Amino acid sequence: MKPNSRWIQLVVGIICMVMIANLQYGWTYFVDPMNAKYHWGRTDIQIAFTIFIATETWLVPVEGWFVDRFGPRIVIMFGGIVVALGWSLNSVASSLPMLYFAAALSGIGAGAVYGTCVGNALKWFADRRGLAAGLTAAGFGAGAAATVYPIIQTIKTYGYESAFLWFGVGQGLIVLVLSQFLRAPKPGEAPKAAPRFSQSLRDYTPMEMVQTPLFWILYVMFVLVAASGLVVTAQVAPIARDYKIAGLPVTFLFISSTVIVMAGIVDNILNGLARPTFGWVSDHIGRENTMAIVFACGAGAYWALGTIGNSPWTFIATAGLVYFTWGEIYSLFPATCTDIYGSKYTTTNAGLLYTAKGTASFLVPAASWLQSQTGSWHAVFVVATIANLAVAATAFFVVKPMRAAKRTAELSSPLAHAIE
């Protein structure tokens, strides 16, 4: 292998993540067109989004097992094929059960690609795991920005069915081709992990990890923050339409477009930027301190979106801030999990924590129901504000002292003396 081969692996993984990004972040543009055709109701349509997130996340530990056994190439190939099939079925779904089945397939395919690309980056970049994982996750967070305008225009010109079919098949084929370039490092081929003073003194197995209270505290925190962000991710277009600003013209840097297009581009760029940015910050000031700061800022973003976000530029700004203060969970929580429970089982352990995103997705239809009952989005954003403030406080006042106590106990254990 040439010296830059691992960087090729990283770039290929990022591009694969870009190809599956709009399965989640482009979904919002299909909701109202489907509702206009079939009158299923937003709440029932958003159940498909919940199913997608659940199958995308809950199967990551299983897919990780297949990667470890058969390598990344075969799993990415499988993901590309299933993604193409799922969105193709979306294009012809004429009933809710069929839409839900297609969502399940899309989630399985996206999860196979997501989990494999992140895991492969961690293996190749043991010396720069935060950077590699953040950049790979950024491909998923920011990748949809490139397809926002094409998807909206395709829906407007040819119908949402054509958008599902063309983008699904096209992106699936690209993933299928790129999968041929991926492989895991051979023994001794990748650099060794850089020493981390905050690492656990021993490696916890998945079963040992799930028996600790700290894991479940992190899990609940992940659920609350992820749910808040997923609600906006799935509903940003309907929110803009309910504010009656979606189609209004805006101009930025000589680029003229509508509010919903501009918001989609800004949102996805900031979502991707948040992942490596706050991962890097947490390396310098600590995970819990970073969580406390960014989630408190996130609470302010949700409050602002629900109170002053009903004009074109305030909507773009506040929705963008929401994306910027929730996307970082996909770098902060895996890093924290690895710090606490060691690196030997990091793929499986982080994958188990990542399933919290699937649990959070079940709250997306609940947000639609709350909006329909109250007649506005204000109550939804109040709940999101409270949830983010609670998580910020938990990170600083609960997780931080618990980690310190755990570290002290490990240092005084026989294992610590044996290491010395």
Which domains, ranges and CATH numbers included, belong to the chain?
Answer: 1-183 (1.20.1250.20), 195-420 (1.20.1250.20)
- Out of 42-51, 78-87, 110-119, 403-412, the most confident range is 78-87
Residue 121 pLDDT grade (very low, low, confident, very high; cuts 50, 70, 90): confident
- State the average pLDDT over residues 309-316: 90
Q: In this model, does residue 360 exceed pLDDT 50?
A: yes
272, two tokens: 């991707």
For residue 197, name the pLDDT band (cuts at 50, 70, 90): very low
Q: How far apart are CA 240 and CA 290, in angstroms?
A: 30
What is the enclosing helix (H) or strand (E) of 249? strand 249-252
- pLDDT, tens digit, 9 for 90 and up, residues 27-36: 888 988 999 9
Contacts of 358 (CB under 8 A, 6+ apart): 53, 54, 55, 56, 57, 58
**What is the predicted pLDDT for the residue at 194?**
57
Residues listed for the chain: 420
Please list, in sequence order, all residues whose beta carbon lies within 8 angstroms of the beta carbon of residue 255, skipping any fewer than 6 positions away: 262
Inter-residue contact 239 to 377 (CB < 8 Å): yes
Paired tokens of 168: 């699904």
pLDDT attached to residue 221 = 96
- Could you tell me where the DSSP H helices lie in 26-71? 28-38, 42-58, 60-70
Percent of the chain exceeding pLDDT 90 equals 37
Q: Which residues pair with 250 in a beta bridge?
A: 257
Measure Cα distances from 213 to 44, 217, 385, 403 in Å: 35, 6, 25, 11
Please provide the average confidence, as pLDDT, over all residues in the chain: 85
Question: pLDDT digits over 226-242, tens only?
Answer: 999 888 877 888 888 88
- Cβ contacts of 174 within 8 Å, gap of 6 or more: 15, 19, 80
Distance CA 163, CA 169 (A): 10
pTM for this predicted structure:
0.78
Q: Using one digit for the tens of pLDDT, what is the confidence trace for 124-145?
A: 876 777 677 788 888 887 777 7
E strands along 73-165, which residues?
Answer: none
Mean pLDDT on 197-204 = 71
Q: Could you identify the residue written with the tokens 């999968």?
A: 179
